[in-house]
Amino acid sequence: MSALIRYTGVRVIDPATGTDTVQSAVLQDGVVVALGSAADLLVVNETQAADGCWLTPAFVDLCARLREPGPKQHGTIASETRAAAAAGFKHLVLPPDTHPVIDHGAVALQVIEKAAAAGHAQVYPVGALTKGLEGKSLASMGGLKAAGCVGVGQARQPVASLDTLLRCLEYASSMGLTVFFSPEEAALASGCAHDGFMAARLGLTGIPETAETVALASALLLVEQTGVRAHFGQLSCAGSVTLMRLAKDKGLPVTADVAMHQLHLTDAAIDGFNAMAHVRPPLRSEADRVALIAGVREGVIDAICSDHQPLNAAAKLAPFAEALPGMSTLETVLPLGLKLVADGELSARRLIEALTSAPARILQKPIGALGEVASGVLLIDPAQAWQVTDDDWLSVGRNTVFAGQMMTGRARLLS
Amino acid sequence: MHQSHAHQASRLQLNGRGQLKHFLSTEGLSRELLTEILDRAESFLDDQGGIRNVPLLAGRTVMNLFFEPSTRTRTTFEVAAKRLSADVLNIDISKSSTSKGETLRDMLWNLEAMTADVFVVRHGLSGAPHFIASQVTPQIAVINAGDGRHAHPTQAMLDMLTIRRHAGAFENLTVAIIGDIRHSRVARSEIHALQTLGAKEIRVIGPRTLLPKDFELLGVQVFEDMTAGLADVDVAIALRIQNERMESALLPGSSEFYGLFGLTRERLKVASPKVLVMHPGPINRGVEIESEVADGPQSLILKQVNYGIAVRMAVLVMAVEGQLQENGQ
């Protein structure tokens, strides 16, 4: 039996139970064993004053590229889960667009085992909806489910036709699998930046909002037809929030997330051809950003993900359109979220919910709640300042627009 | 909003003293600096409108790096450099060499080994000269000879020189740019230059498929109709329509475009009586402009070609000087 540690004066935020109060908490082996007066009375091995700090479930990320399986020059399961754990994430969903693609149970098993061996965070693969993500024929979804995939999806790869997509959704529904969509209509998404004034001014080819909303609308109609459970990830525009609101009002079995950086940045960040701000879906307008925040606040958007996409230095050393899209984001999620709280955009409880119990519900996993043994517990110092520098950054990808900036807020996984 | 854009656009181009050290875009440069380019260019023109030989860049090497084929622009840069007694190296970099896996940056390192003072860069991707300027060794000046849809600042400045010499003070002028604004780096650079130089009104005219998104925010008047757009204009600039636009569902065909947006004598009747007509070339007669207009007394199209050499001389000299100031040689 390992030590009992009491944290006093800590703000316990556990959205799964609706808890948000300053109290004492006793932990043992990374699990909360007592709260409040019970925690005050327990005989413990050690007491730590944690005034000003928050105690929350460990974060659950619905979309993080780990670059493995793959050529690994942009990161590995070990490197990126280590960065994740240091940033408060104990549970990461891996999209299927790895090399090889996660379209076979063996690949999924390998991912899960590698993450377990690294020991930093648990990885939940999403299996491919179609073989090789080629969009033509059904992947072996039964096998993927048996291997531990939390759902199936196409990442950002297109499906050959709506007919094929319909069959895929029907089959996924039979398998009881959630379908993870990153809605994008390929024919409208050949550009490299939000189709607005900034792209027009810089002479960059635009990606209109309809690249997302057309795909989202048709997917929602097919979800309604098939009844499959569907999750829509990394939404980027106001129109998508409107569509999700309609779908939820109709009672469709749908959920959504947004990447944290979409709640902070707009296409203004690409000025000067800043390749670090080349992401996909693109950074959009201020009106979109405001609508996305409102969507999170109201719960139309259930969860906030990192959409972590680490890249090595060479990947961004090219003219804007040719620089690979993506940002290394795991390590800035918490401070950016705390900024939303400080700015009065989100309540602390809603922020923590969007990072813990909401994604856990989407995954249907017993995590993201202090009462769950597998959840993991964070001690967050919301006032701790740090600077985004190479010395204080664990991801292999240093591709962030926030390089050099001061951040406020750090998390520590309690074990 | 405009201020911060200007700041971003000028950051790379100026040295610590606010002098030009790269010429990447007309955006973000001061009126004084643009005027200095025009004044310098005029100083290279003799009384007959010919070009003087001025050995200001003797012993310097100008490297033309053309990632996109262009005979006319490359030739005028070559002539300009030679009039300044610089050595010129023309390097035609076919698209295939970068697609073979050599990155643009690797290629730059190889080229720098050949010790150049100026890179004149033409590239199909918007922002490529910015990228090159941010990566080259400090003493090399980068001149943008056209990047994607973004900018073609020397073309814009030779158009400004043409306007200043023939139409007079910018403050009194309404200028219309007609046709494929969306894909035009020339239009973007002209708009920024005209704004900075104080033009009274700037208009763009074209069908929606050829207009960039939200361009009103740039401070221009947007017209989708020629009669309204040409009313009382002092300068009409027609842009070249690429044939590929007809194939990519942007235009139904050249005859319909000419019928609706062609610059004809008839259409110009609503313009100012002394309207001047320009075109960055090469012109498509009977597509964007009527032959009689292109060859008529109001046309400055041939004069534009000659001024191009003087403007490129001015920019080459100023950028080299700006680099010398900064790097103390």
Domain residue limits, chain A = 4-52, 59-366
Nearest CB partner across the interface for B214, out of A197, A317, A320:
A197
Tell me if B218 and A201 make a contact (CB, 8 A cut-off).
yes
CB contact at 8 A, A120 and A81:
yes
Which helix (H) or strand (E) element contains residue A203? none
CB pairs < 8 Å spanning A and B: 79
The answer to whether A307 is a known catalytic residue is yes
Contacting residues of A for B147, CB less than 8 Å apart: 203
Give the mean pLDDT of B124-150.
94
Which of B2, B5, B65 has the most A C-beta neighbours within 10 Å, making it the best mutation to test the interface with A?
B5
Could you tell me what percent of chain A has a pLDDT over 70?
100
CA geometry: angle at B44 spanning B41 and B46, to 5°?
Answer: 125
What does the alpha-carbon distance between residue B215 and residue B263 come to, in Å, rounded to a whole number? Answer: 22
Q: Read off the tokens for A380.
A: 């967050």
Could you tell me what percent of chain B has a pLDDT over 70?
94
For B255, other C-beta atoms within 10 Å of its C-beta total 11
Beta bridge partners of residue A11, listed in sequence order:
A22, A54
What does the alpha-carbon distance between residue A243 and residue B246 come to, in Å, rounded to a whole number? Answer: 35
A94-133 pLDDT, tens per residue?
Answer: 999 999 999 999 999 999 999 999 999 999 999 999 999 9
**Among residues 186-215 of chain A, which lie with CB inside 8 Å of chain B?**
195-197, 199-206
Q: Binning pLDDT at 50, 70 and 90, where does residue B4 land?
A: low
Q: Binning pLDDT at 50, 70 and 90, where does residue B3 land?
A: very low
C-alpha count within 13 angstroms, C-beta hemisphere, residue A40: 7
Beta bridge partners of residue B88, listed in sequence order:
B62
Tell me if A317 and B135 make a contact (CB, 8 A cut-off).
yes
> Is the model's pLDDT at B96 over the cut of 70?
no
**Among residues 262-281 of chain A, which lie with CB inside 8 Å of chain B?**
271-273, 275
Q: What pLDDT sits at residue B94?
A: 65
Q: What pLDDT sits at residue B70?
A: 85
Task: Indicate the SS3 state at residue B81.
Answer: helix
Contacting residues of A for B135, CB less than 8 Å apart: 317
A183-203 pLDDT, tens per residue?
Answer: 999 999 999 999 999 999 999
What does the alpha-carbon distance between residue A281 and residue A181 come to, in Å, rounded to a whole number? Answer: 13
> Is the model's pLDDT at B244 over the cut of 80?
no
Tell me if A201 and B103 make a contact (CB, 8 A cut-off).
no
Instruction: Search chain B and give the residue with CA nearest A196.
Output: B213
Q: Which tops the pLDDT comparison, B305 or A389?
A: A389
Tell me if B212 and A200 make a contact (CB, 8 A cut-off).
yes
Q: So what CATH class is A59-366?
A: alpha beta
> Is the model's pLDDT at A294 over the cut of 90?
yes
Q: What pLDDT sits at residue A218?
A: 98
Q: What pLDDT sits at residue B93?
A: 79
Instruction: Search chain A and give the residue with CA nearest B107.
Output: A318
Contacting residues of B for A203, CB less than 8 Å apart: 126-127, 147-151, 185, 188
Tell me if A200 and B147 make a contact (CB, 8 A cut-off).
no
Q: Binning pLDDT at 50, 70 and 90, where does residue B113 land?
A: confident
What does the alpha-carbon distance between residue B118 and residue B140 come to, in Å, rounded to a whole number? Answer: 5
Contacting residues of B for A204, CB less than 8 Å apart: 126-127, 148-150
Tell me if B127 and A321 make a contact (CB, 8 A cut-off).
yes
Instruction: Search chain A and give the residue with CA nearest B149.
Output: A203
pTM of the model: 0.94
Q: What pLDDT sits at residue A415?
A: 81
What does the alpha-carbon distance between residue B250 and residue A126 come to, in Å, rounded to a whole number? Answer: 40
Tell me if A200 and B11 make a contact (CB, 8 A cut-off).
no
Catalytic residue among A97, A103, A195, A307: A307
B250-305 pLDDT, tens per residue?
Answer: 988 889 999 999 999 999 999 999 999 999 988 999 999 999 999 999 999 888 77
CB proximity list for A108: less than 8 A, separation 6 or greater? A102, A125, A127, A144, A147, A148, A149
Which of B24, B126, B208 has the most A C-beta neighbours within 10 Å, making it the best mutation to test the interface with A?
B126
In this structure, which CATH number among 3.40.50.300, 3.40.1550.10, 3.40.50.1370, 1.10.645.10 belongs to the domain B2-150+307-327?
Answer: 3.40.50.1370
Tell me if B127 and A202 make a contact (CB, 8 A cut-off).
yes
Instruction: Search chain A and give the residue with CA nearest B189.
Output: A201
Contacting residues of A for B130, CB less than 8 Å apart: 272-273, 319
What does the alpha-carbon distance between residue A159 and residue A184 come to, in Å, rounded to a whole number? Answer: 10
Q: Binning pLDDT at 50, 70 and 90, where does residue A292 land?
A: very high
Contacting residues of A for B148, CB less than 8 Å apart: 203-204, 321
Q: Is the ipTM of this complex over 0.90?
A: yes
Q: Please identify which residue in the block is written with the tokens 């970068």.
A: B98
A118 interfacial to chain B (CB closer than 8 Å) = no
- The most confident of the ranges A173-177, B14-18, B253-257 is A173-177
Tell me if B150 and A202 make a contact (CB, 8 A cut-off).
yes
Location of each CATH 3.40.50.1370 domain in chain B: 2-150+307-327, 153-305
Q: What pLDDT sits at residue B95?
A: 58
Residue A92: C-alpha distances to residues A82, A144, A153, A154 (Å): 11, 17, 15, 17
Task: Tell me the nearest-neighbour CA distance from B266 into chain A, angstroms.
Answer: 32
Q: Please identify which residue in the block is written with the tokens 């409102």.
A: A294
Which of A73, A190, A197 has the most B C-beta neighbours within 10 Å, making it the best mutation to test the interface with B?
A197
Mean pLDDT of chain B: 91
Q: Binning pLDDT at 50, 70 and 90, where does residue B49 land?
A: confident
Give the mean pLDDT of B20-49.
95
- The domain made up of B153-305 has a fold known as Rossmann fold (3.40.50)
Question: For chain B, which residues lie within 8 Å of any Cβ of chain A, measuring from their own Cβ?
Answer: 4-5, 8-9, 11-12, 103-105, 123, 125-128, 130-131, 135, 147-151, 182, 185, 188, 212-215, 217-218
